[in-house]
Amino acid sequence: MGLRLKQQYQSYQTGFTLIEVMVVIVILGILAALIVPNVIGQSDKARVGTTKSVLSTTASALDLFKLDNSRYPTTQEGLDGLIHKPATAKTWPNGGYIKGGLPKDGWGADLQYISPGSDGKPFDLYSFGSDGKEGGEDDAADIALQQ
């Protein structure tokens, strides 16, 4: 009789009950509902932050170009004028003003550059944002260098 009880007890201990599995699934669902929206939103914030940093770094390279050449690259020369020596450049550092190719925004798209800029600014430097189109709202809004 004692052996039979031991066999029945062992058979009940071999796996999880349906209730235990359901409790774990509910807990995982609650955690996912709380965590996933926060993680997804951080990706867009990181891309915006990256874009602002790239705009600032590129603006610094533009300022160095101006110090050396008494002017900013023209719209036609564009940001390529920071990598490849324009024909009219007086001074040119070895390797250019930006190493590693043209800068990209947080979404991997080209930055936009216009010189002279609007409202009396020497240049406009901006990204089209997540949608890659001019204008937009919220996450798709254009991101401009604040001068």
Tens of pLDDT, residue by residue, the chain (147 residues)? 555 555 555 555 567 788 888 888 888 888 888 777 766 767 778 888 888 899 999 999 999 999 999 999 999 999 999 999 998 888 888 888 988 888 898 888 999 999 998 888 999 999 988 777 787 777 778 788 776
Place of tokens 């250019």: 96
The torsion region of residue 134 among left (phi > 0), alpha (psi -120 to 50) and beta comes to beta
Q: In this predicted structure, what is the pLDDT of residue 100?
A: 84
Q: In this predicted structure, what is the pLDDT of residue 4?
A: 57
* Alpha-carbon radius of gyration of the chain: 29
